[in-house]
């Protein structure tokens, strides 16, 4: 069997679409004068471990604009099944020349490149030999600061065996729910702040995120921990 560990290149796959039922067209909502999904990518580009970034969007006509922007910004992209996102990932991964992948979602404007680099280093540590590394199995980070790292073999196994809709819609549950089948690692924050949310799913989320960036002088690279401190102060008021 091919030793995929000898290849240290890793691609970051950013899940983005326009067809959100709770907040339509949210990928293009402007935060810090950038469309939300581009703000997310701006932050990912500061990571030191990422070889290449790809946007994975759907084949729906409404997502044509995401593709157009990717072309203009010279960002690689792939289009696939809207609802079976696991299939979308598998078909991209199956034809790519990468063996290792990071998964993030574009509605997370505080994604941490430092955390991402830390998880990739843990994943590639030869003493570990993990199939899947993330901070979501037992959450201690805010919702919206989630990063997943996995290999081609694990994702392929998930695609070939996942049966329930939830696993197909959310890509990785088949992997992280099977500790006997895959070697898993969960990364913990120094304190549990998983009760906070830094993702944009609703108009209320958008209002909160906009307020946070405003209080941080619209710094698109602001640290998520600073955002949490502001949220704590707002809750105390």
Q: Is the entire prediction scored with pTM above 0.75?
A: yes
- What average pLDDT does range 40-51 have in this prediction? 98
The model's confidence at residue 1, banded by pLDDT at 50, 70 and 90, is: very low
Domain 8-236 matching CATH 3.30.565.10: the answer reads no
Phi, psi of 21 (to 5 degrees): -75, -35
Quick one: pLDDT at residue 5? Answer: 65
- What average pLDDT does range 107-128 have in this prediction? 97
């Amino acid at each position: 069997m091919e030793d995929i560990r000898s290849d240290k290149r890793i691609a970051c796959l950013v899940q983005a679409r326009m067809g959100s039922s709770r907040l339509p067209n949210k990928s293009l909502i402007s935060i810090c004068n950038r469309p939300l999904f581009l703000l997310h990518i701006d932050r990912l580009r500061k990571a030191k471990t990422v070889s290449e970034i790809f946007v994975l969007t759907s084949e729906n006509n409404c997502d044509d604009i995401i593709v157009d922007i990717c072309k203009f910004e010279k960002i690689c992209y792939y289009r696939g099944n809207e609802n079976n996102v696991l299939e979308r990932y598998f078909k991209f991964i199956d034809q790519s020349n990468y063996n290792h992948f990071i998964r993030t979602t574009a509605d997370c404007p505080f994604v941490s490149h430092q955390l991402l680099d830390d998880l990739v280093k843990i994943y590639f540590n030869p003493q570990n030999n993990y199939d899947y590394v993330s901070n979501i199995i037992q959450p201690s980070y805010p919702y919206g600061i989630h990063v997943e790292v996995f290999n081609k073999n694990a994702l392929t196994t998930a695609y070939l065996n996942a049966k329930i809709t939830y696993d197909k819609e959310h890509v990785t549950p088949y992997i992280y729910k099977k500790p006997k089948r895959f070697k898993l690692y969960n990364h913990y924050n120094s304190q549990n702040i998983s009760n906070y949310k830094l993702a944009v799913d609703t108009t209320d989320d958008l209002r909160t995120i906009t307020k946070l960036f405003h209080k941080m002088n619209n710094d698109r690279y602001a640290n998520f921990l600073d955002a949490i401190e502001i949220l704590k102060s707002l809750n105390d008021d």
